[in-house]
C-alpha cells in the first residue's frame, strides 16, 4: 500500500519512519509512505495520484470537494492520525466508498501529565520565575503558590484523559471529585462524583477533560466562574470553545483565579503549530490573556510526547494493514 502523508512536520516523519522500519506486515505486504508538507484540502488532493491511501491530521480539510478529487485519483482509504474526525465529511466518504480510520486513544497520560504541568506551572508562576532568574532577578515577589497536597481537585469529564488526571491528582494527595454524564467505575475507590455546581463550589483545582459538544460549548462562562472558589486554579487541555474567553478574562480581572493554564483556547486555529512571532496580532484575546501574570498558555502540545507519537504511528500503520486484509477494527469511523 502506498500512502501519501499530508501536513508533515519533521517529528511526524521521524516517528513514522522509525515505526515503519520494524513494522510487521502479513504475507510480504509492502507499506510505503511518501511525505508532503502541504495539508490535505481541495487544492492539494490531486497530489494523491498513484497512491492507495492518504494520511491526514486535525487541520486537514477533508470536505466533499477534497473527497471527490481523492476518489477520482483512486484513493480508497483515509488514515486520520488523530482521534477527532469532525473535519471529515463522512456522508460524502460513504457515498464515494472511501473508508475512514482514526486513532481513538493514543496516550491519555500524555495529555493528563501536561494538564498537571500547567496546573503546577501556573500555580508557582514558573513562566515568570524562569524569566526573572534569566534577568538576574532572584527575588520571590509575585511567585507565591499553594500546596496541592490535601486540596480538592475537580475533574470535569472522566473518560480516558480525565481518569488519568484523577489518578495523578490522587497521587499528589488531593481529594478528587468529578463531574461526568457517566460514572467511570474504575475510579470508584478514590473519586467522588458530584454535581457540576458542587464541583465548582468545592474545587481548588478544576481541570476540563470533556469533549466539545453542543452541551459543553462555553461550559465555563461568567455564571459558572462566579460559582468557583476564589483563588481556584483552572486548567483546560480539552477544547478551546469549552471556555468563553471574554468571560474568563473578566473572571481573571475579578481576581477569581490563582492560576490559569491553557493548552487550548478559542483563537488557536490560526496559531497552532505556526511561528507567528513576527506578526502584530490585532484584536487578539489570546494577547489579552497573556498579559496576566497568572496565565500560562501552551500551543496544543498536550498530546506531544514520544510515546504518544509512537502510538499514533503504530495504530495508523495497523489501520492500513487491517484495511488491506479486510479485518474488522473499531478504528473505522462512519456517518
Ligand atoms: P473520552 O471520550 O475518553 O472521555 C470524555 C469524557 O467526557 C467521557 O467520560 C464523557 O462521558 C464525558 N462527557 C461527555 N459529555 C459531557 C458533559 N456534558 N459533561 C461532563 N462530561 C461529559 O475522551 P478523552 O480521550 O479522555 O479526551 C477528552 C478530550 O481531550 C477530547 O475530547 C479532546 O477534546 C481533548 N484532547 C486534547 C488533546 C491535547 O493535545 N490537548 C489531545 C487529545 C484529546
The per-residue pLDDT for range 300-319, each reduced to its tens digit, is: 999 999 999 999 999 999 99
Is 330 considered catalytic here?
A: no
According to the model, what pLDDT value does residue 79 have? Answer: 98
User: Mean pLDDT throughout 221-249?
Assistant: 97
How far apart are alpha carbons 40 and 147 in whole angstroms? 46
Model confidence at 271, pLDDT cuts 50, 70, 90, reads confident
**Residue 267: pLDDT over 90:** no
**Which cell numbers in the block locate residue 306?**
514520544
List C-alpha distances in Å: 86 to 38, 61, 135, 333: 20, 10, 45, 11
**Residue 333: pLDDT over 80:** yes
pLDDT > 70 fraction of the chain, expressed in percent and rounded: 100
> What residue has cell string 455546581?
197
Cβ–Cβ under 8 Å, residues 160 and 108: yes
**Residue 278: pLDDT over 80:** yes
**Which cell numbers in the block locate residue 214?**
453542543
Q: In this structure, which residue's CA is closest to atom 44 in ligand 1?
A: 238
How far is the centre of ligand 1, averaged over its atoms, from the C-alpha of 106 (Å)?
Answer: 13
> What residue has cell string 516517528?
15
Is 268 considered catalytic here?
A: yes
**Residue 58: pLDDT over 90:** no
Cβ–Cβ under 8 Å, residues 212 and 182: no
How far apart are alpha carbons 263 and 304 in whole angstroms? 11
According to the model, what pLDDT value does residue 106 have? Answer: 85
According to the model, what pLDDT value does residue 178 have? Answer: 98
- DSSP class of residue 292 equals S
Cβ–Cβ under 8 Å, residues 35 and 65: no
Q: Catalytic residue, from 81, 125, 127, 300: name it.
A: 300
User: Mean pLDDT throughout 201-209?
Assistant: 98
Q: In this structure, which residue's CA is closest to atom 4 in ligand 1?
A: 159
Cβ–Cβ under 8 Å, residues 150 and 180: no
Which of the two residues, 272 and 250, has the higher pLDDT score?
Answer: 250
Helix H segments across the chain? 10-21, 64-72, 90-96, 108-124, 126-134, 160-171, 196-202, 222-226, 245-253, 285-290, 306-325
According to the model, what pLDDT value does residue 286 have? Answer: 87
Pocket test for ligand 1, best of 86, 87, 113, 161 (most atoms within 8 A of CB): 161
**Residue 213: pLDDT over 80:** yes
How far apart are alpha carbons 157 and 209 in whole angstroms? 5
Model confidence at 84, pLDDT cuts 50, 70, 90, reads confident
According to the model, what pLDDT value does residue 318 have? Answer: 97
Provide the whole-model pTM: 0.89
Model confidence at 83, pLDDT cuts 50, 70, 90, reads confident
Q: In this structure, which residue's CA is closest to atom 37 in ligand 1?
A: 238
| Phi and psi at residue 237, to the nearest 5° | -115, 15
**Residue 198: pLDDT over 80:** yes
According to the model, what pLDDT value does residue 155 have? Answer: 98
- DSSP class of residue 214 equals T
How far apart are alpha carbons 154 and 169 in whole angstroms? 9
Amino acid at each position: 500500500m502506498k500512502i501519501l502523508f499530508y501536513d508533515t512536520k519533521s517529528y511526524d516523519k521521524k516517528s513514522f519512519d522509525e515505526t515503519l522500519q520494524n513494522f510487521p506486515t502479513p504475507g510480504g505486504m509492502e507499506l510505503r509512505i511518501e511525505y508532503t508538507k502541504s495539508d490535505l484540502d481541495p487544492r492539494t488532493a490531486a497530489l494523491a495520484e498513484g497512491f492507495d491511501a492518504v494520511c491526514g491530521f486535525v487541520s486537514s480539510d477533508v470536505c466533499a470537494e477534497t473527497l471527490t478529487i481523492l476518489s477520482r485519483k483512486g484513493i480508497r482509504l483515509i488514515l486520520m492520525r488523530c482521534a477527532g474526525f469532525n473535519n471529515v465529511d463522512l456522508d460524502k466518504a460513504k457515498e464515494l466508498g472511501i473508508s475512514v480510520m482514526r486513532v481513538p486513544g493514543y496516550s491519555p497520560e500524555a495529555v493528563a501529565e501536561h494538564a498537571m504541568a500547567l496546573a503546577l506551572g501556573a500555580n508557582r508562576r514558573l513562566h515568570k520565575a524562569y524569566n526573572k532568574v534569566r534577568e538576574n532577578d532572584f527575588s520571590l515577589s509575585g511567585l507565591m503558590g499553594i500546596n496541592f497536597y490535601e486540596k480538592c481537585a475537580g475533574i470535569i469529564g472522566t473518560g480516558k484523559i480525565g481518569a488519568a488526571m484523577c489518578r495523578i491528582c490522587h497521587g499528589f494527595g488531593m481529594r478528587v471529585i468529578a463531574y461526568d454524564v457517566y460514572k467511570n467505575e474504575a475510579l470508584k475507590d478514590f473519586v467522588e462524583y458530584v454535581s457540576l455546581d458542587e464541583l465548582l463550589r468545592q474545587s481548588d483545582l478544576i481541570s476540563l477533560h470533556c469533549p466539545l459538544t453542543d452541551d459543553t460549548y462555553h461550559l465555563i462562562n461568567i455564571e459558572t466562574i462566579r460559582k468557583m472558589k476564589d483563588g481556584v486554579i483552572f486548567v483546560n487541555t480539552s477544547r478551546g470553545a469549552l471556555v468563553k474567553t471574554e468571560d474568563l478574562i473578566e473572571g481573571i480581572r475579578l481576581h477569581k483565579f490563582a492560576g490559569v493554564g491553557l493548552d487550548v483556547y478559542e483563537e488557536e486555529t490560526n496559531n497552532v503549530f505556526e511561528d507567528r512571532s513576527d506578526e502584530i496580532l490585532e484584536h487578539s484575546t489570546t494577547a489579552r490573556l497573556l498579559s496576566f501574570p497568572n496565565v500560562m498558555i501552551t500551543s496544543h502540545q498536550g498530546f506531544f510526547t514520544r510515546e504518544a507519537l509512537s502510538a499514533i504511528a503504530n495504530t495508523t500503520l495497523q489501520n492500513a494493514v487491517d484495511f488491506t486484509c479486510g479485518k474488522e477494527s473499531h478504528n473505522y469511523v462512519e456517518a
